[in-house]
Amino acid sequence: MNKIAKYLNQQLIGNVFDSSQILEAYSTDRSPLKITPRMVVVPENASDVRRTVKFVNQLAQKSVHIPITVRGSGLDKTGADLGTGLILSTEHLNKILEIDDRARLVRVQAGVTLGQLNSALALYGLHIPVLADPRETIGALIANFTTDAAAGKYNGIYYYVDCIESVISTGEAIQTSRLARHHLNRKTDLTSYEGSIYREVDKLIDTHSDLIKELGSRSTIDAAGYQMITQVVRDTTGSFDLLPLFYASQGTLGIITEVILHCEVFQPKVRHFVAAFESINAALSYIGEISPLVPEELNLYDARIFKSAKDHGKDPALFASKFNKGYFVWAAFDDRPRKINKKLQKCLKLLPDNAAAVVETDDNSTDFKRLKSAIASYLNDDVKGERVAFVDDFYIPPDHLSNFLTDLRDLEKAEKQELPIFGSYATSNYSLRPDVQLNTVEGRQFIVKFLKTFNSLVKDHGGSITGGAPEGRLKATVTNPAYTEEEEELYLKLKDIFDPNQIFNPEIKLGATPNATVRHIRTAYNPGITT
């Protein structure tokens, strides 16, 4: 064991590892990258996190740099939970600390998963209405700020977090809260590093007020950079809150250790509806008619996804004759049973004559599960290569979607492969998965080339390649060059305020470079990858 790992083991209740087998386990995520860390720290409590950060920051002041990368469940698709230095895993920070069912509030450690939390809340008739992977940690939902399928109705994780506790670069812990101007003055008067952060962020917002106002007025949804700086000060009240800065920050400003969330009343029964259409315009016209029914999720799938799944043994049974072409609309309703029935009847009534539809019942619920399973089968299909998640979570405005899909067919011809999309129409957040052979030089070069080409296509249609999730290492290769000098200056100054010694994930977001990213593209299929 190296000296630093041994020293930290002596200081922490948790464990520090540097054996090759463990480092290998933390070297991949859902991205096409592989980066082997120098060591892995698994803290048992927030005190362990503070000690680790303080020690690493002290080393950085002596020009010994061991960057800290925070890792939840290892599900990031941009390489943001991989690092060359120290991986700090929140897997043991997984306690639900307090549930106040009357106030509908819950306090958790950042490593608690969404599935774990909602299972506990269900006992109290509550839940967090976020349709993300149940293995995602609450800390990761904030730091990665991925748009979930229910965000069109429930506004996403941003709406449910009241405050966080975060360890900043000095090892201090700060608690965020929305402050009136006179309370902000108390924070800026503090002599601690927390006080310095409040003073400098307040000054930064004032200095760049015109740019921040312009960022806030943009119609394109974009999670790149630190664009949530637009939400720190509320125009209507002048109140001030650091919390928005941690959304989409990907662990570059601090390490979230605790979160307080408010909850919704749990609706135990969700029913689904799926309809098949021969053309995208027919599907979009129908979506426009059922959108006012406010479904929990409203998704769009290229039918070729299901055809591919069927070819490999995953036959979802529903609409077997419709698999060759067209689009599927998937809706879910989570209202009270009587209201759900009325909405589903309305969906059937609005259905055009040349479309087919099925409503979920107790008798056919297994078929709906098979349909979801077919999607998972497509995403993991490794017959030609690996469907790598490097262009997931992009934003296309609704009024551009039809033309975008037309141009996407031209790109398919140029790349000589099918690129069926899938995603949420309710949030305008979509994904596609090209076939990539990572074991070839051509395959790895394809990733870099395709990102540039696809980014241009998305921008031409008023969208953003980072509309549904931040850039990490991969997408930063195309988002970083697009910043104006003033934007880049704003984001770099904000990073420097929180992390002057660059100890928190300095190699992602603004710190990502094309050469480093390409060097870390893995050369083999990742057997641990899932949808």
pLDDT digit string (tens) for 442-480? 888 899 899 999 999 999 999 999 999 999 999 999 999
Per-residue pLDDT band for 62 (boundaries 50, 70, 90) equals very high
Listed in sequence order, the residues at least 6 apart from 147 whose beta carbon sits closer than 8 Å to its beta carbon are 156, 221, 393, 424, 427, 429, 467, 468, 469
State in Å, rounded, how far the first CA of the chain is from the last one: 35
Mean pLDDT of the chain: 92
Question: What order do you get walking across the sheet with 105-109 strand by strand?
Answer: 96-100, 105-109, 255-262, 161-167, 173-175
What is the average pLDDT across 79-94?
96
Q: Name residue 501's amino acid.
A: N
Which of 2-16, 374-388, 431-445, 513-527 is modeled with the greatest confidence?
A: 2-16
pLDDT at 514 (0 to 100): 87
What is the average pLDDT across 244-260?
98
Please give the share of the chain, as a percent, with pLDDT higher than 90.
80
pLDDT at 97 (0 to 100): 98
pLDDT at 251 (0 to 100): 97
Query: H-helix or E-strand containing 475?
Result: none
| CB 505, CB 250: distance < 8 Å | yes
Backbone angles phi and psi of 143, in degrees to 5? -65, -35
pLDDT tens digits, 362-382: 888 888 887 877 777 777 655
**Token pair listed for 375:** 């999607």
Instruction: Provide the 8-state DSSP code for 380.
Output: T
Per-residue pLDDT band for 402 (boundaries 50, 70, 90) equals very high
pLDDT at 388 (0 to 100): 85
Per-residue pLDDT band for 385 (boundaries 50, 70, 90) equals low
Angle of helix 3-11 relative to helix 46-61, nearest 10 degrees, comes to 140
- CA distances to 219, 243, 438 from 323, rounded to whole Å, are 35, 45, 29
Q: Which is nearest to 140 in space by CA: 387, 392, 434, 469? A: 469
pLDDT at 322 (0 to 100): 53
∠ Cα 86 87 88 (to 5°): 110
Per-residue pLDDT band for 515 (boundaries 50, 70, 90) equals confident
Separation of alpha carbons 319 and 304, rounded Å: 13
pLDDT at 437 (0 to 100): 86
Q: For domain 268-381, give the fold.
A: Alpha-Beta Plaits (3.30.70)
Give the Cβ contact number of residue 284 at 10 Å. 19
Separation of alpha carbons 464 and 227, rounded Å: 13
Per-residue pLDDT band for 409 (boundaries 50, 70, 90) equals very high
Separation of alpha carbons 93 and 112, rounded Å: 7
Separation of alpha carbons 54 and 60, rounded Å: 10
Give the Cβ contact number of residue 492 at 10 Å. 15
pLDDT at 296 (0 to 100): 96
**Token pair listed for 462:** 């008023």
Separation of alpha carbons 246 and 253, rounded Å: 7
pLDDT tens digits, 108-163: 999 999 999 999 999 999 999 999 999 999 999 999 999 999 999 999 999 999 99
* 126-127 and 15-17 beta bridge pairing: unpaired
Backbone angles phi and psi of 75, in degrees to 5? -105, 5
* 96-100 and 105-109 beta bridge pairing: antiparallel
- The pTM for the full model equals 0.94
Separation of alpha carbons 398 and 382, rounded Å: 31
pLDDT at 438 (0 to 100): 86
pLDDT at 528 (0 to 100): 56
Residue with tokens 């809150």: 241
pLDDT at 382 (0 to 100): 52
Q: Which is nearest to 474 in space by CA: 436, 503, 440, 500? A: 436
pLDDT at 312 (0 to 100): 63
Listed in sequence order, the residues at least 6 apart from 482 whose beta carbon sits closer than 8 Å to its beta carbon are none
pLDDT at 375 (0 to 100): 79
* Torsion sign, CA atoms 453, 459, 460, 463: positive
Backbone angles phi and psi of 466, in degrees to 5? -115, 30
Q: Which is nearest to 296 in space by CA: 115, 119, 430, 149? A: 149
Strand, helix or coil for residue 311: helix
Per-residue pLDDT band for 219 (boundaries 50, 70, 90) equals confident
pLDDT at 378 (0 to 100): 76
Strand, helix or coil for residue 18: coil
Strand, helix or coil for residue 107: strand
Q: Which residues pair with 137 in a beta bridge?
A: 113
Q: Name residue 173's amino acid.
A: A
Q: What CATH code would you report for 101-265? A: 3.30.465.10
Taken as a whole, the chain contains a residue count of 531
Per-residue pLDDT band for 523 (boundaries 50, 70, 90) equals confident
∠ Cα 526 528 529 (to 5°): 70
Separation of alpha carbons 375 and 314, rounded Å: 9
Separation of alpha carbons 460 and 328, rounded Å: 25
**Token pair listed for 428:** 């305008």
pLDDT tens digits, 282-337: 999 999 999 999 999 999 999 888 777 666 666 666 665 555 679 999 999 999 99
Is the pLDDT at 272 greater than 80? The verdict is yes
Domain-wise residue ranges, the chain: 3-92+503-514, 101-265, 268-381
Is the pLDDT at 83 greater than 90? The verdict is yes
Burial class (CB in 10 A: 0-12, 13-18, 19+), 436: buried
Per-residue pLDDT band for 384 (boundaries 50, 70, 90) equals low
Select the CATH number that applies to the domain covering 3-92+503-514 from these four: 3.30.43.10, 3.30.379.10, 3.10.20.30, 3.40.50.300.
Answer: 3.30.43.10
